[in-house]
Structures are given as C-alpha cells and as structure tokens.
Amino acid sequence: VLLSIQALLSAPNPDDPLANDVAEQWKVNESQAIQTARAWTKLYASLDRE
C-alpha cells in the first residue's frame, strides 16, 4: 500500500485526477502547482509550523 502511495506522489497523473481543480492548475502552470504543493506541505504537513 505504501509503495502505491509513493508511486502516485512521485508521478502525478493530471489526466486521472482526484481533484479536478488541482489537475487543471498542474496542466496550466506545472511550476506554480509544484510551488503551491511545497508551500502547503510546509504549512500543513511539517513539524515546523511557523
């Protein structure tokens, strides 16, 4: 199960999305989508929540 999750996270497929709005952002501006994902990860999924 964990390997499947890792595979999904390491190679996102915007043509088969869980969230259509996120997939659309990925298709329109991939670099901005990656920047947003990093910011949200830092904000919501890291121990350093400053």
35, two tokens: 């920047």
8 A C-beta contact, residue 42 and residue 48: yes
How confident is the model at residue 49, as a pLDDT?
A: 59
- The 10s digit of each residue's pLDDT in 1-50 is 999 889 888 888 899 888 999 999 999 999 999 999 999 999 999 887 55
8 A C-beta contact, residue 40 and residue 34: no
How confident is the model at residue 8, as a pLDDT?
A: 84
Phi, psi of 34 (to 5 degrees): -65, -40
How confident is the model at residue 43, as a pLDDT?
A: 93
Tell me how far apart the alpha carbons of residues 15 and 47 are, in angstroms, rounded to a whole number.
Answer: 32
1, two tokens: 């199960």
How confident is the model at residue 50, as a pLDDT?
A: 59
